[in-house]
Structure 1
Amino acid sequence: MQDPNISPVNPLPPTVSALFLAIMAVEALFTLGANGLLGGAQAVGWRVGAIQDYGFSSDIFRWMLDQGRYPPEHALRFVTYPFVHGSFTHALFVGVMLLALGKFVGEVLSQWATLAVFVIGTLAGALVHGVLIVAQPWLLGGFPGVYALIGAFTYLLYVRLVSSGSNGARAFVLIGFLLGIKLVFGLLFGADATWLADLVGFGAGFAATIVLVPGGWARLRARLRHD
């Protein structure tokens, strides 16, 4: 007999909910401050100040590499930049995609593995952005981590399709569509260098899921031994 206490809606992984609430809480402070509803006159500059203090900058990253110094306040930018967005719309899109993809991925991976995918994509995206991007040094927002969840989603869907005898290439439709949208917007409104961090986040999430999926490390080790 089915348990009547079971919720008809699968709950979100707590880590995904926590990430979403953190992103939207920070954005709420910026938005309320910018509209004069919180913090007084100085609150108008909260977003700009947060970008300068917590956003990821490839200029600062290169300075750290050149000097061989990694002050904590700058090293922390690797994990603080996903919580600082350029606008309410930016944060909202990140939040919605985080909930949707986090729910799907969290149904297969553990909540900590789901969080690990997001963090790995966030770190990898910032690292490559810092090394390669000069003209647009600032990297803001949670899209690299969200794209890592898209990578996890793609791998899980790929495995499901191949296991059922279907064409595994269909798993890559979502990332192809999103990159196509970015290309169109880039052509219409100017190129945005953050696409590289998003793409790296996707690849990092895809690769991490191969290991983080239940039994994934054992399968990978067995395959390496066989090869």
Structure 2
Amino acid sequence: MSPPPPAEDVPQLDPRARALLWGAIALCVGIELVLQAADHGLIGDRRWRGLAYDYGAFWSQLLRGWRPNYAAQPWTMFASYAVLHGGLWHLTFNMVTLWSLGRAVAERAGAGGLASLLAGGTLGGAVGHGLLSAAPVPMVGASGALFGLAGALLVWAWADRRDARETQRPVIVAALVLVGINLVMWWALKGQLAWQAHLGGFVAGAALAPRRRG
């Protein structure tokens, strides 16, 4: 077994990027823990989760004539949906993925690039869902932002391999794996998967990926 690389050769995460990732994770975890506590009657009211979805989830029908609960809701939902989740499993999967992909993006594009891709993926996910889904159900979760990060990473991988004159097969395989995961999840969840948000986030991330390092 080869020895580990010297400490100075291990990429160090930008402190600002670390703060951004931990801040986003803390926000999502904090909200879900409050809703979990309310679900179990420990605090507040068991209606809190429903109210959170009513006021903060992304509702495609608000773009198609539904009356909003407050005037700005058709606009604020393009961001607020990303900090709500459908339970502990949904939250855990998304937060672990956020930390993993977020570190990789920050090492390439810094804190500014990470912030722009998280915002762009969140917005792209909402736009994709709004355009492609008319289902009268709430859409929640950070998946749009996560697929934005994935889109950027695949664009960079493609560019790096092109510049090095290497085969693009690993990049193509990774993209097919993402498609496969979505198909499996769509089947397992009996169609209750916001693939439209995943697609919108991925396209936004691929389009916004900075074309330089750092």
What range describes the TM-score normalised by the shorter chain of this pair? Answer: 0.7 to 0.9
Contact 1:130–1:137, Cα closer than 8 Å, also in 2 = no
Give the share of equivalent positions with the same residue, in percent: 25
1:113 aligned partner: 113
CA shift for structure 1 position 146: 0.4
Aligned pair count reads 205
Q: Secondary structure at the match of 1:165?
A: coil
Q: Distance in 1 between matches of 2:137 and 2:40?
A: 28
CA shift for structure 1 position 8: 6.1
CA RMSD of aligned residues (A): 2.8
CA shift for structure 1 position 151: 0.5
Contact 1:105–1:153, Cα closer than 8 Å, also in 2 = yes
From 201, 210, 213, the counterpart of 2:211: 213
1:225 aligned partner: none
2:129 aligned partner: 129
Superposed CA offset, 1:42-89 (max 9, x none) = 1x222111011100100112227x9xxx93233111111000111111
**Superposed counterparts of 1:1-227, under 5 Å:** 10-11=12-13, 13=17, 14-37=19-42, 39-40=43-44, 42=45, 44-63=46-65, 71-209=71-209, 212-214=210-212
Q: Secondary structure at the match of 1:86?
A: coil
TM-score by length of 1: 0.80
Superposed CA offset, 1:19-51 (max 9, x none) = 1111111111112222233x24x1x22211101
Call closer, same or farther: CA 1:158–1:21 in 2, change over 3 Å: same
Unmatched tracts of structure 2, length 5 or more? 1-5
Call closer, same or farther: CA 1:71–1:173 in 2, change over 3 Å: farther
Q: Distance in 1 between matches of 2:92 and 2:168?
A: 31
1:219 aligned partner: none
Which letter maps to 2:21?
A: V
Which letter maps to 1:60?
A: L
CA shift for structure 1 position 134: 1.4
CA shift for structure 1 position 126: 1.0
CA shift for structure 1 position 167: 1.3
1:224 aligned partner: none
Q: Distance in 1 between matches of 2:8 and 2:169?
A: 35
Superposed CA offset, 1:3-28 (max 9, x none) = x9979673361222211111111111
Which letter maps to 1:123?
A: L
Which letter maps to 2:60?
A: S
